Amino acid sequence: MPISRREFARNSALAGAGVALTGAVGSLATAPGALASDEHDHGDHDAADRGDGRGREPGYGPLVPVPDGLLALPAGFSYRVLTRTGVTRLESGEFTPGKHDGTAAFDGPRGTTLLVVNHELSGPRAGVAHPVPAADGLVYDPAAPGGCTVVETRRGGEVAQWVGIAGTAQNCAGGTTPWNTWLTCEETEARAGQNGMTKDHGYVFEVDPLDRRANLGPEPVKALGRFAHEAVVVDPRRGHLYLTEDASGPNGLLYRWVPPRGFAHGRGRLRTLADDAGALQAARCFDSGGRFVDDLSRATRIGTVYGVDWADVPDRDARTVPVRRQFRDDEVTRGRKLEGMWWGDGGAYVVSSYAREESPGQHDGQVWFYDPRRRTLTLKVLFGADPDPAADGAFDGPDNITVSPYGGLVIAEDGDGVQHLIGATDSGRTYPIARNELNAGTEADPDYSEFAGVVFSPDGRTLYASIQTPGIMFAITGPWRRRPGGH
């Protein structure tokens, strides 16, 4: 049922001052280069951010390069390398695949942690140096190089690796489910016969880290559509799934999948759905005056609140026309590089990595919060234009994201120049957690790979993250702390 203007006016009055979120962000801004509205910044920052009663900067202090040159971390923090492409090996003897991306962490047997890791590998399999091994019974398309591996660790040390799914393409992000599985997303629209593929791609697949047999004979969940999928989250109360699309020409969409009446979620249940089960819908936003919003880049102030309606997708399998092109520009709200998502605090955090000339407005990153109860989308983080991305200190290009058990957000940076893991407090301040020190370029023309796959262990003691190229996964530990007031 569409949300009425009267409902939205009432809801926006409640949400406009910042959604009340337990242990997470209220109204966030980045620094430097941040754009923030004063009306959402009333807190006593010194009181909120002090950790010792005397007032101090948020975070854990300046970053210090580690001797081996891979990461810089705050004093007192350390890391272990869990996997490295072409160096570490799977149980079967093959090397760890390349291009680590979206990652999830689950409680494993006997005190272990199970990490499901996407590998964003594309193109013909024969052209990839370290594809996901074509394990028996786990291959969707033998021509595709991507997929997921499962890494079993104990207290931050690697125990074992194996294949979760193979033969998929460009597995970028994804999302966890309340029933402890991983939904891996293909960020491609390649059809059989293109790029050497033998099957259509652009789907979501389910991977069970706890039951290897459940992953045999992988098939896509076609009810969730075929497009350049980026990430997905599950509303555990309503059963809806929300999905992002990283695409341009035109810009991508934010989607919602509504399950059919009587459907009950659970392990393996998504695979039982008919291809046209439920309803796949695209977001349509409007402001408090009832005016349609064509693109999320229109928002230029922290705390901007849009009401959201949902428009049914005509052909979710995109048999002749890509899904995002099945709508006129006045029917849906678009966004450039809609990337990472994370479910927390009763809603979905949604990242738009940047917007340039292809969009009505330009920015270096947004993080939105969708509240399904109020049916509102609120701008929580807005990265201003970074004039010198080569310099350390400014942040741009948010990508993968997670809600921290210590309050606020942790964001993987995929921008220009220096790359960081970024923390953001609920008082509107940001700070670095890690910096990629591995220069794949030259001193004169440095090249630092993006961070990806940021996620905390179930017990909150370890932060896992990867640098995508050459493909290195880290387990970061240190004196994590919850700051006063939930920071």
- Who wins on pLDDT, 430 or 17? 430
48's enclosing H/E stretch is helix 45-49
List, for residues 250-298, the tens digit of each pLDDT value: 999 999 999 999 999 999 999 999 999 999 999 999 999 999 999 999 9
Indicate if the pLDDT at residue 403 is higher than 70: yes
CB 232 within 8 A of CB 174: yes
Indicate if the pLDDT at residue 33 is higher than 50: no
Q: How far apart (Å, rounded) are the C-alpha atoms in residues 426 and 487? A: 6
CB 342 within 8 A of CB 21: no
Q: How far apart (Å, rounded) are the C-alpha atoms in residues 37 and 166? A: 46
Q: How far apart (Å, rounded) are the C-alpha atoms in residues 205 and 185? A: 7
Q: With the CA atoms of 143, 145, 150 and 151 taken in that order, what torsion angle do they form, in degrees rounded to the nearest 10?
A: 150
Indicate if the pLDDT at residue 246 is higher than 70: yes
List, for residues 296-319, the tens digit of each pLDDT value: 999 999 899 999 999 999 999 999
pLDDT of residue 381: 87
pLDDT of residue 394: 76
Task: Report the topology of domain 74-477.
Answer: Neuraminidase (2.120.10)
- Who wins on pLDDT, 128 or 19? 128
The two tokens of residue 459 are 């017990």
Indicate if the pLDDT at residue 53 is higher than 50: no
List, for residues 451-477, the tens digit of each pLDDT value: 999 999 999 999 999 999 999 999 999
pLDDT of residue 395: 87
The two tokens of residue 389 are 């991305």
pLDDT of residue 393: 66
% of the chain at pLDDT higher than 90: 75
CB 146 within 8 A of CB 119: yes
Indicate if the pLDDT at residue 444 is higher than 60: yes
Q: How far apart (Å, rounded) are the C-alpha atoms in residues 77 and 463? A: 11
The two tokens of residue 9 are 């006016």
pLDDT of residue 385: 72
The two tokens of residue 451 are 């961070």
Residue by residue, DSSP assigns 239-300 as: --EEEEE--TTTTEEEEEEEPPTT----TTTGGGS-TT-SEEEEEEEE-TTS-EE-BGGG--
Shortest CA distance to 25 belongs to which of 291, 371, 298?
371
pLDDT of residue 114: 97
**Model confidence pTM above 0.85:** yes
Which of the four pLDDT bands, split at 50, 70 and 90, describes residue 430?
A: confident
pLDDT of residue 12: 45
Average pLDDT value over all residues in the chain: 87
The two tokens of residue 76 are 């007192």
Tokens 């080569």: give the residue: 390
pLDDT of residue 389: 67
- Who wins on pLDDT, 279 or 391? 279
Distances (CA, A) of 189 to 120, 226, 245, 318: 14, 7, 11, 9
User: In DSSP terms, which residues pair with 158 in a beta bridge?
Assistant: 153
% of the chain at pLDDT higher than 70: 86
Residue 248, C-beta contacts closer than 8 angstroms, at least 6 positions apart? 336, 337, 358
Which of the four pLDDT bands, split at 50, 70 and 90, describes residue 56?
A: low
Query: Based on the number of CB atoms within 10 Å of its own CB, is 316 exposed (0-12), middle (13-18) or buried (19 or more)?
Result: buried
- Domain locations in the chain? 74-477
Query: What residue spans of 117-169 are helical by DSSP H?
Result: none
pLDDT of residue 6: 42
- Who wins on pLDDT, 9 or 438? 438
What length is written for the chain?
487
